[in-house]
Structure 1
Amino acid sequence: MNNLVIFKGHTDGILVLLDNNTDFENIITALVRKLEENKNFFKNSDIVMKIKGRVLDMIQKEILLEILSAKNITQVSFIDFDELSDPIDNLNIKIVEEIIENKPNTIKYSNTCYWTGILRSGQEIISEGSAIIIGDVNPGAVIRAYENIIVLGNLNGRAFAGMNTIFENPYIIAYGMNPEQIGLGEFLATAPRETKKFVGLNAPEIAYLNSGVIHVDKIDIKLMQSMIQ
Protein backbone atom coordinates (compact mmCIF):
# COMPACT_ATOMS: atom_id res chain seq x y z
CA MET A 1 0.00 0.00 0.00
CA ASN A 2 3.02 2.29 0.35
CA ASN A 3 3.16 2.87 -3.40
CA LEU A 4 -0.52 3.60 -3.95
CA VAL A 5 0.11 7.32 -3.37
CA ILE A 6 3.52 8.82 -4.11
CA PHE A 7 4.58 12.40 -3.32
CA LYS A 8 7.23 13.97 -5.54
CA GLY A 9 8.77 17.41 -5.37
CA HIS A 10 7.87 19.62 -8.32
CA THR A 11 8.99 23.07 -9.47
CA ASP A 12 5.46 24.37 -8.86
CA GLY A 13 4.82 22.43 -5.64
CA ILE A 14 4.10 18.75 -5.05
CA LEU A 15 3.16 16.16 -7.66
CA VAL A 16 0.97 13.35 -6.30
CA LEU A 17 0.93 10.10 -8.27
CA LEU A 18 -2.09 7.86 -7.70
CA ASP A 19 -2.09 4.15 -8.46
CA ASN A 20 -4.48 3.34 -11.30
CA ASN A 21 -4.95 -0.35 -10.50
CA THR A 22 -6.57 -0.27 -7.07
CA ASP A 23 -9.92 0.71 -5.59
CA PHE A 24 -10.51 4.37 -4.81
CA GLU A 25 -11.07 3.48 -1.14
CA ASN A 26 -7.46 2.25 -0.96
CA ILE A 27 -6.30 5.54 -2.48
CA ILE A 28 -8.12 7.45 0.27
CA THR A 29 -6.53 5.32 2.99
CA ALA A 30 -3.06 5.70 1.50
CA LEU A 31 -3.44 9.46 1.02
CA VAL A 32 -4.59 10.02 4.61
CA ARG A 33 -1.62 7.98 5.84
CA LYS A 34 0.84 9.93 3.67
CA LEU A 35 -0.54 13.25 4.87
CA GLU A 36 -0.27 12.14 8.48
CA GLU A 37 3.30 10.93 7.99
CA ASN A 38 4.25 14.32 6.51
CA LYS A 39 2.01 16.54 8.66
CA ASN A 40 4.90 18.71 9.85
CA PHE A 41 5.81 19.50 6.26
CA PHE A 42 2.29 20.64 5.37
CA LYS A 43 1.73 22.61 8.57
CA ASN A 44 1.51 26.37 8.05
CA SER A 45 2.66 26.12 4.45
CA ASP A 46 1.12 27.31 1.19
CA ILE A 47 1.32 24.14 -0.88
CA VAL A 48 0.37 23.81 -4.53
CA MET A 49 -0.49 20.20 -5.32
CA LYS A 50 -0.97 18.48 -8.68
CA ILE A 51 -2.64 15.07 -8.75
CA LYS A 52 -2.30 12.62 -11.62
CA GLY A 53 -2.13 8.92 -12.41
CA ARG A 54 -5.80 7.99 -12.73
CA VAL A 55 -9.05 9.42 -14.03
CA LEU A 56 -11.26 10.70 -11.20
CA ASP A 57 -14.92 11.64 -11.39
CA MET A 58 -16.20 14.84 -9.77
CA ILE A 59 -17.32 13.12 -6.56
CA GLN A 60 -13.91 11.50 -6.10
CA LYS A 61 -12.21 14.85 -6.69
CA GLU A 62 -14.40 16.49 -4.08
CA ILE A 63 -13.57 13.75 -1.57
CA LEU A 64 -9.85 14.31 -2.12
CA LEU A 65 -10.29 18.08 -1.89
CA GLU A 66 -12.09 17.71 1.44
CA ILE A 67 -9.27 15.53 2.80
CA LEU A 68 -6.62 17.98 1.59
CA SER A 69 -8.44 21.09 2.81
CA ALA A 70 -8.42 19.57 6.30
CA LYS A 71 -4.62 19.92 6.05
CA ASN A 72 -4.96 23.49 4.70
CA ILE A 73 -3.97 22.37 1.20
CA THR A 74 -6.37 24.40 -0.91
CA GLN A 75 -4.53 24.84 -4.22
CA VAL A 76 -5.08 21.58 -6.09
CA SER A 77 -5.16 20.63 -9.76
CA PHE A 78 -6.09 17.30 -11.33
CA ILE A 79 -4.21 16.12 -14.41
CA ASP A 80 -6.56 13.39 -15.50
CA PHE A 81 -6.54 13.45 -19.28
CA ASP A 82 -4.01 12.92 -22.05
CA GLU A 83 -2.36 16.30 -22.52
CA LEU A 84 -1.45 15.32 -26.09
CA SER A 85 -5.06 14.73 -27.11
CA ASP A 86 -7.51 17.36 -28.30
CA PRO A 87 -8.33 19.41 -25.16
CA ILE A 88 -11.96 19.76 -26.17
CA ASP A 89 -12.39 16.01 -25.61
CA ASN A 90 -10.97 16.12 -22.08
CA LEU A 91 -12.66 14.77 -18.99
CA ASN A 92 -14.14 18.09 -17.89
CA ILE A 93 -16.40 18.23 -20.94
CA LYS A 94 -17.47 14.60 -20.48
CA ILE A 95 -18.33 15.26 -16.83
CA VAL A 96 -20.72 18.01 -17.90
CA GLU A 97 -22.57 15.63 -20.22
CA GLU A 98 -22.93 13.00 -17.49
CA ILE A 99 -24.21 15.48 -14.93
CA ILE A 100 -26.98 16.69 -17.24
CA GLU A 101 -28.35 13.18 -17.69
CA ASN A 102 -28.60 12.51 -13.96
CA LYS A 103 -29.73 15.87 -12.53
CA PRO A 104 -33.19 17.21 -13.37
CA ASN A 105 -32.38 20.55 -11.68
CA THR A 106 -29.54 21.19 -14.12
CA ILE A 107 -30.05 23.74 -16.89
CA LYS A 108 -27.69 23.80 -19.87
CA TYR A 109 -27.12 26.82 -22.12
CA SER A 110 -25.48 26.48 -25.54
CA ASN A 111 -24.12 30.03 -25.42
CA THR A 112 -23.60 32.68 -22.76
CA CYS A 113 -26.04 32.21 -19.89
CA TYR A 114 -27.90 35.13 -18.28
CA TRP A 115 -29.64 34.11 -15.06
CA THR A 116 -31.70 36.58 -13.04
CA GLY A 117 -32.62 35.70 -9.48
CA ILE A 118 -31.27 33.52 -6.69
CA LEU A 119 -29.58 30.26 -7.66
CA ARG A 120 -30.67 27.96 -4.84
CA SER A 121 -29.17 24.86 -3.27
CA GLY A 122 -29.53 21.87 -5.58
CA GLN A 123 -29.79 24.00 -8.73
CA GLU A 124 -27.04 23.86 -11.32
CA ILE A 125 -26.28 25.92 -14.41
CA ILE A 126 -23.99 24.79 -17.21
CA SER A 127 -23.01 27.24 -19.94
CA GLU A 128 -21.05 26.42 -23.08
CA GLY A 129 -20.04 30.09 -23.09
CA SER A 130 -19.79 32.41 -20.11
CA ALA A 131 -22.29 32.60 -17.24
CA ILE A 132 -23.63 35.89 -15.88
CA ILE A 133 -25.70 35.59 -12.71
CA ILE A 134 -27.71 38.63 -11.61
CA GLY A 135 -28.40 37.59 -8.05
CA ASP A 136 -26.94 35.46 -5.28
CA VAL A 137 -25.59 31.92 -5.60
CA ASN A 138 -26.55 30.06 -2.44
CA PRO A 139 -24.52 27.30 -0.77
CA GLY A 140 -25.21 24.01 -2.54
CA ALA A 141 -25.78 25.69 -5.93
CA VAL A 142 -23.33 25.08 -8.79
CA ILE A 143 -22.24 27.09 -11.84
CA ARG A 144 -20.15 25.49 -14.58
CA ALA A 145 -19.01 27.53 -17.57
CA TYR A 146 -16.75 26.71 -20.48
CA GLU A 147 -15.52 30.32 -20.35
CA ASN A 148 -15.91 32.95 -17.57
CA ILE A 149 -18.33 33.46 -14.67
CA ILE A 150 -19.64 36.79 -13.39
CA VAL A 151 -21.88 36.92 -10.32
CA LEU A 152 -23.57 40.27 -9.66
CA GLY A 153 -24.31 39.21 -6.12
CA ASN A 154 -22.87 36.91 -3.46
CA LEU A 155 -21.12 33.74 -4.60
CA ASN A 156 -21.63 31.29 -1.74
CA GLY A 157 -21.93 28.07 -3.74
CA ARG A 158 -19.52 26.41 -6.16
CA ALA A 159 -18.28 27.89 -9.43
CA PHE A 160 -16.13 26.31 -12.14
CA ALA A 161 -14.95 28.45 -15.07
CA GLY A 162 -12.77 27.53 -18.04
CA MET A 163 -14.13 23.99 -18.25
CA ASN A 164 -13.23 24.01 -21.93
CA THR A 165 -9.48 23.99 -21.36
CA ILE A 166 -8.67 25.52 -24.76
CA PHE A 167 -10.17 28.73 -23.33
CA GLU A 168 -7.29 30.82 -21.99
CA ASN A 169 -7.24 32.94 -18.83
CA PRO A 170 -10.64 32.04 -17.34
CA TYR A 171 -11.81 34.09 -14.39
CA ILE A 172 -14.62 34.34 -11.86
CA ILE A 173 -15.92 37.72 -10.69
CA ALA A 174 -18.30 38.14 -7.76
CA TYR A 175 -19.54 41.09 -5.74
CA GLY A 176 -19.31 38.88 -2.65
CA MET A 177 -16.66 36.16 -2.97
CA ASN A 178 -17.28 33.44 -0.40
CA PRO A 179 -17.58 30.23 -2.45
CA GLU A 180 -17.58 26.70 -1.12
CA GLN A 181 -15.27 25.81 -3.98
CA ILE A 182 -13.99 27.39 -7.18
CA GLY A 183 -12.30 25.97 -10.24
CA LEU A 184 -10.42 27.57 -13.11
CA GLY A 185 -9.60 25.13 -15.90
CA GLU A 186 -8.00 22.08 -14.34
CA PHE A 187 -7.24 23.91 -11.08
CA LEU A 188 -9.53 23.71 -8.04
CA ALA A 189 -9.45 25.53 -4.72
CA THR A 190 -11.45 25.34 -1.51
CA ALA A 191 -11.62 27.89 1.28
CA PRO A 192 -9.20 27.25 4.15
CA ARG A 193 -10.72 24.94 6.78
CA GLU A 194 -10.31 27.43 9.66
CA THR A 195 -12.25 30.27 8.08
CA LYS A 196 -14.16 28.59 5.25
CA LYS A 197 -13.70 31.91 3.46
CA PHE A 198 -11.52 33.32 0.72
CA VAL A 199 -10.29 36.92 0.81
CA GLY A 200 -13.57 38.59 1.78
CA LEU A 201 -12.80 42.23 0.94
CA ASN A 202 -16.46 43.36 0.94
CA ALA A 203 -15.90 44.59 -2.61
CA PRO A 204 -16.06 43.06 -6.09
CA GLU A 205 -13.34 40.43 -6.37
CA ILE A 206 -11.85 38.32 -9.12
CA ALA A 207 -10.46 34.79 -9.03
CA TYR A 208 -7.82 34.19 -11.68
CA LEU A 209 -4.84 31.98 -12.47
CA ASN A 210 -1.23 33.05 -12.13
CA SER A 211 1.50 30.44 -12.70
CA GLY A 212 -0.90 27.60 -11.98
CA VAL A 213 -2.19 29.07 -8.70
CA ILE A 214 -5.67 30.47 -8.10
CA HIS A 215 -5.57 34.01 -6.71
CA VAL A 216 -8.51 36.02 -5.37
CA ASP A 217 -8.05 39.79 -5.34
CA LYS A 218 -9.98 43.01 -5.46
CA ILE A 219 -10.80 43.92 -9.05
CA ASP A 220 -8.13 46.14 -10.53
CA ILE A 221 -8.27 47.78 -13.95
CA LYS A 222 -4.62 46.99 -14.70
CA LEU A 223 -5.17 43.35 -13.75
CA MET A 224 -8.18 43.07 -16.06
CA GLN A 225 -6.30 44.72 -18.92
CA SER A 226 -3.39 42.29 -18.55
CA MET A 227 -5.78 39.32 -18.67
CA ILE A 228 -7.53 40.34 -21.88
CA GLN A 229 -4.40 41.29 -23.81
Structure 2
Amino acid sequence: MAGEMVSIKGTREGLVILLDPSREFEDIKQYLQRKMDSSRGFFKGARFTVYQGHTAISVRQRQELENICRQYGLIPSPEVHWPPRRAKSAAPPLRPAAAGTGEPAGLIRRTLRSGQEINCRNHVIVAGDVHPGAVVNAGGNIIIMGVCAGSVHAGTDGNTRARIAALRLTPVRLAIAGVETPGDALPSGDGPQTASLSGRRIILTPLFPGQEACRQ
Protein backbone atom coordinates (compact mmCIF):
# COMPACT_ATOMS: atom_id res chain seq x y z
CA MET A 1 0.00 0.00 0.00
CA ALA A 2 3.03 2.25 -0.50
CA GLY A 3 3.06 3.26 3.17
CA GLU A 4 -0.36 4.93 3.14
CA MET A 5 -2.28 4.18 6.32
CA VAL A 6 -5.66 4.00 4.56
CA SER A 7 -6.21 3.95 0.81
CA ILE A 8 -9.41 3.63 -1.22
CA LYS A 9 -9.55 1.54 -4.38
CA GLY A 10 -12.39 1.23 -6.88
CA THR A 11 -13.42 -2.18 -8.22
CA ARG A 12 -16.25 -3.47 -10.37
CA GLU A 13 -18.22 -4.30 -7.22
CA GLY A 14 -17.59 -1.08 -5.31
CA LEU A 15 -14.92 0.45 -3.07
CA VAL A 16 -12.25 -1.29 -1.00
CA ILE A 17 -10.89 0.43 2.12
CA LEU A 18 -7.31 -0.87 2.31
CA LEU A 19 -5.59 -0.72 5.71
CA ASP A 20 -1.88 -0.81 6.50
CA PRO A 21 -1.52 -3.77 8.91
CA SER A 22 1.65 -2.28 10.41
CA ARG A 23 -0.22 0.71 11.87
CA GLU A 24 -2.01 0.97 15.21
CA PHE A 25 -5.78 0.55 15.02
CA GLU A 26 -6.55 3.86 16.76
CA ASP A 27 -4.33 5.69 14.27
CA ILE A 28 -6.12 3.96 11.39
CA LYS A 29 -9.50 4.98 12.81
CA GLN A 30 -8.51 8.62 13.12
CA TYR A 31 -6.98 8.69 9.65
CA LEU A 32 -10.07 7.08 8.10
CA GLN A 33 -12.30 9.61 9.85
CA ARG A 34 -10.25 12.50 8.45
CA LYS A 35 -10.18 10.97 4.99
CA MET A 36 -13.94 10.46 4.93
CA ASP A 37 -14.55 13.96 6.27
CA SER A 38 -12.30 15.55 3.65
CA SER A 39 -14.25 13.81 0.87
CA ARG A 40 -17.67 14.26 2.48
CA GLY A 41 -20.51 13.33 0.11
CA PHE A 42 -18.39 11.93 -2.71
CA PHE A 43 -18.63 8.27 -1.78
CA LYS A 44 -22.26 8.45 -0.64
CA GLY A 45 -24.28 5.46 -1.82
CA ALA A 46 -21.24 3.37 -2.77
CA ARG A 47 -20.85 -0.21 -1.56
CA PHE A 48 -17.59 -1.03 0.20
CA THR A 49 -15.56 -3.52 2.19
CA VAL A 50 -12.60 -3.22 4.57
CA TYR A 51 -9.41 -5.18 3.82
CA GLN A 52 -6.18 -5.48 5.82
CA GLY A 53 -4.17 -8.01 3.87
CA HIS A 54 -3.50 -11.31 5.56
CA THR A 55 -3.70 -9.75 9.02
CA ALA A 56 -7.20 -10.29 10.38
CA ILE A 57 -9.02 -7.57 12.29
CA SER A 58 -11.53 -8.32 15.02
CA VAL A 59 -15.27 -8.12 14.48
CA ARG A 60 -15.42 -5.13 16.82
CA GLN A 61 -12.68 -3.27 14.94
CA ARG A 62 -14.33 -3.97 11.59
CA GLN A 63 -17.65 -2.68 12.92
CA GLU A 64 -16.00 0.50 14.19
CA LEU A 65 -14.46 1.20 10.79
CA GLU A 66 -17.68 0.35 8.97
CA ASN A 67 -19.61 2.70 11.26
CA ILE A 68 -17.26 5.55 10.35
CA CYS A 69 -17.91 4.90 6.66
CA ARG A 70 -21.67 4.60 7.25
CA GLN A 71 -21.67 8.13 8.67
CA TYR A 72 -20.72 9.34 5.20
CA GLY A 73 -23.31 7.28 3.31
CA LEU A 74 -21.22 4.26 2.36
CA ILE A 75 -22.85 0.83 2.58
CA PRO A 76 -20.97 -2.33 3.65
CA SER A 77 -21.35 -5.15 1.14
CA PRO A 78 -20.12 -8.77 1.08
CA GLU A 79 -20.20 -8.57 -2.72
CA VAL A 80 -17.11 -6.33 -2.80
CA HIS A 81 -13.91 -8.37 -2.99
CA TRP A 82 -10.17 -7.75 -2.85
CA PRO A 83 -8.19 -8.63 -4.87
CA PRO A 84 -10.85 -7.87 -7.52
CA ARG A 85 -12.50 -10.80 -9.22
CA ARG A 86 -12.25 -11.11 -12.98
CA ALA A 87 -15.59 -10.54 -14.65
CA LYS A 88 -17.15 -13.51 -16.41
CA SER A 89 -19.30 -11.30 -18.60
CA ALA A 90 -19.69 -7.64 -19.47
CA ALA A 91 -21.27 -5.56 -16.75
CA PRO A 92 -24.36 -3.45 -17.42
CA PRO A 93 -23.42 0.11 -18.42
CA LEU A 94 -25.29 1.70 -15.53
CA ARG A 95 -26.91 0.27 -12.41
CA PRO A 96 -27.84 1.46 -8.93
CA ALA A 97 -24.75 1.71 -6.75
CA ALA A 98 -26.60 0.59 -3.66
CA ALA A 99 -29.98 0.37 -2.01
CA GLY A 100 -30.45 2.30 1.19
CA THR A 101 -31.27 5.66 2.65
CA GLY A 102 -28.50 7.51 0.80
CA GLU A 103 -29.05 9.58 -2.32
CA PRO A 104 -29.36 7.53 -5.53
CA ALA A 105 -26.15 6.95 -7.47
CA GLY A 106 -25.41 5.15 -10.71
CA LEU A 107 -22.35 2.87 -10.68
CA ILE A 108 -20.27 2.27 -13.82
CA ARG A 109 -18.17 -0.84 -13.20
CA ARG A 110 -15.65 -0.37 -15.98
CA THR A 111 -13.47 2.14 -17.81
CA LEU A 112 -15.28 4.40 -20.28
CA ARG A 113 -13.63 4.62 -23.70
CA SER A 114 -13.90 7.04 -26.61
CA GLY A 115 -17.43 7.18 -28.01
CA GLN A 116 -19.13 5.95 -24.84
CA GLU A 117 -21.53 8.32 -23.08
CA ILE A 118 -23.28 8.11 -19.72
CA ASN A 119 -26.27 10.28 -18.83
CA CYS A 120 -27.78 10.07 -15.34
CA ARG A 121 -30.06 12.39 -13.38
CA ASN A 122 -28.47 11.32 -10.06
CA HIS A 123 -24.87 10.96 -8.85
CA VAL A 124 -22.49 8.84 -10.95
CA ILE A 125 -19.59 6.71 -9.69
CA VAL A 126 -17.13 5.35 -12.26
CA ALA A 127 -14.98 2.46 -10.99
CA GLY A 128 -12.36 3.01 -13.67
CA ASP A 129 -10.98 5.71 -15.97
CA VAL A 130 -12.79 8.10 -18.31
CA HIS A 131 -10.79 8.19 -21.55
CA PRO A 132 -10.61 11.11 -24.01
CA GLY A 133 -13.74 11.00 -26.18
CA ALA A 134 -15.89 9.52 -23.40
CA VAL A 135 -18.66 11.64 -21.86
CA VAL A 136 -20.28 11.60 -18.41
CA ASN A 137 -23.28 13.82 -17.61
CA ALA A 138 -24.89 13.72 -14.16
CA GLY A 139 -27.52 15.69 -12.33
CA GLY A 140 -25.50 15.28 -9.13
CA ASN A 141 -21.85 14.60 -8.32
CA ILE A 142 -19.44 12.64 -10.50
CA ILE A 143 -16.87 10.42 -8.75
CA ILE A 144 -14.18 8.78 -10.88
CA MET A 145 -12.03 6.16 -9.18
CA GLY A 146 -9.33 6.62 -11.77
CA VAL A 147 -8.13 9.19 -14.32
CA CYS A 148 -10.63 11.65 -15.77
CA ALA A 149 -9.44 12.52 -19.28
CA GLY A 150 -12.79 12.82 -21.07
CA SER A 151 -15.69 15.28 -20.92
CA VAL A 152 -17.62 15.53 -17.65
CA HIS A 153 -20.61 17.67 -16.64
CA ALA A 154 -21.99 17.52 -13.09
CA GLY A 155 -25.14 19.31 -11.93
CA THR A 156 -26.73 19.21 -15.38
CA ASP A 157 -30.08 20.19 -13.82
CA GLY A 158 -28.57 23.41 -12.48
CA ASN A 159 -27.29 22.05 -9.16
CA THR A 160 -24.51 24.51 -8.32
CA ARG A 161 -23.43 22.41 -5.32
CA ALA A 162 -22.51 19.44 -7.53
CA ARG A 163 -18.86 18.44 -7.62
CA ILE A 164 -16.52 16.29 -9.69
CA ALA A 165 -13.82 14.17 -8.05
CA ALA A 166 -11.16 11.95 -9.61
CA LEU A 167 -7.89 10.35 -8.66
CA ARG A 168 -6.46 12.54 -11.42
CA LEU A 169 -8.28 15.36 -13.23
CA THR A 170 -7.05 15.97 -16.79
CA PRO A 171 -10.36 16.40 -18.65
CA VAL A 172 -10.88 17.58 -22.19
CA ARG A 173 -13.92 19.49 -20.95
CA LEU A 174 -15.28 20.06 -17.47
CA ALA A 175 -18.59 21.70 -16.56
CA ILE A 176 -20.67 22.17 -13.43
CA ALA A 177 -24.25 23.48 -13.59
CA GLY A 178 -23.62 24.93 -17.04
CA VAL A 179 -20.37 26.68 -16.10
CA GLU A 180 -17.82 25.20 -18.48
CA THR A 181 -14.06 25.31 -18.85
CA PRO A 182 -11.78 23.49 -21.29
CA GLY A 183 -9.37 21.07 -19.69
CA ASP A 184 -6.28 22.97 -20.82
CA ALA A 185 -7.52 26.01 -18.88
CA LEU A 186 -7.48 24.11 -15.59
CA PRO A 187 -4.39 24.38 -13.38
CA SER A 188 -2.28 21.26 -13.28
CA GLY A 189 -2.11 19.27 -10.08
CA ASP A 190 -1.08 15.86 -8.86
CA GLY A 191 -3.18 13.44 -6.89
CA PRO A 192 -6.92 13.20 -6.22
CA GLN A 193 -8.77 16.47 -6.77
CA THR A 194 -12.25 17.92 -6.56
CA ALA A 195 -13.79 20.44 -8.95
CA SER A 196 -16.52 22.71 -7.59
CA LEU A 197 -18.12 26.08 -8.24
CA SER A 198 -17.16 29.27 -6.47
CA GLY A 199 -19.53 31.87 -7.85
CA ARG A 200 -19.17 31.49 -11.61
CA ARG A 201 -15.67 30.04 -11.41
CA ILE A 202 -14.57 26.42 -11.27
CA ILE A 203 -11.96 25.74 -8.61
CA LEU A 204 -9.89 22.64 -7.91
CA THR A 205 -9.13 21.52 -4.38
CA PRO A 206 -7.30 18.44 -3.05
CA LEU A 207 -9.59 15.54 -2.23
CA PHE A 208 -7.44 14.48 0.71
CA PRO A 209 -5.42 16.51 3.26
CA GLY A 210 -1.80 17.33 2.57
CA GLN A 211 -2.18 18.37 -1.08
CA GLU A 212 -1.77 21.85 -2.46
CA ALA A 213 -4.98 23.48 -3.70
CA CYS A 214 -5.33 24.83 -7.25
CA ARG A 215 -7.70 27.49 -8.55
CA GLN A 216 -9.04 28.24 -12.01
Q: Aligning the two structures, in what range does the TM-score lie when normalised by the shorter sequence?
A: 0.3 to 0.5
TM-score (norm 1): 0.45
Higher helix share: 1
